[in-house]
Amino acid sequence: MKRERMYGIMAEFDSAQALIDAAKRTHEAGYNKIDAYSPFPIEGLAEEIGFHRDEVPLVVLIGGIVGGLTGYLMQYWMSAVDYPLNIGGKPYHSWPAFIVITFEMTILFAGISAVFGMLALNGLPMPYHPVFNVPRFSSASKDRFFLIVFSSDPKYDAAGTRSFLQGLQPRSISEVPS
């Protein structure tokens, strides 16, 4: 008989405060690969599960810089190299005239990189996730709160993690198959 690989162990809680307390204790116990699910945003939960870094601002900054350089260099190439026109004695490389388009290209590229960067870093679109295999998880969008410890966590041990989660007084504990 082939044993199914586990994605993790999930605990269900009745309230947001119980989830925050459980997340804090789980992170303090040394579990680093954990996640929490709730029907609404809970302030402070991200910090309790150990999420501190956000890569989207860096992606937006890089996108904005690339957009600004693209806009400026495009205008320089067109007006000074590819098709130079002497209009009213203006120099070919008249940088003050390039400011508006450079600014607009910076905003355009930053906005587009924000959208696609957020989608990529969040792993979206995600039509399937292993937590959907747990029947009780359908309550996560209504009135229940869930905490999962992933099996890829270095401290994960099926029996030890289950007994640790039992000590957090959850409503139920479920194994999440891959």
pLDDT digits (tens, 9 = 90+) for 123-155: 999 889 999 999 999 888 889 999 999 999 999
Whether residue 29 lies inside any domain: the answer is no
Helix (H, G, I), strand (E, B) or coil at 176: strand
User: How many domains does the structure of the chain reveal?
Assistant: 1
Domain of 92, in residue numbers: 56-121
- Regions of the chain with pLDDT less than 50: 1
Distances (CA, A) of 15 to 20, 24, 70, 114, 141: 9, 14, 50, 33, 13
Predicted pLDDT of residue 2: 55
Whether residue 155 lies inside any domain: the answer is no
Predicted pLDDT of residue 87: 84
Whether residue 114 lies inside any domain: the answer is yes
Predicted pLDDT of residue 139: 87
Whether residue 14 lies inside any domain: the answer is no
Sort residue 145 into left (φ over 0), alpha (ψ -120 to 50) or beta: beta
Whether residue 164 lies inside any domain: the answer is no
Query: What is the number of H-type helices and E-type strands within the chain?
Result: 5, 4
Predicted pLDDT of residue 149: 96
The β-bridge partners of 36 are: 147
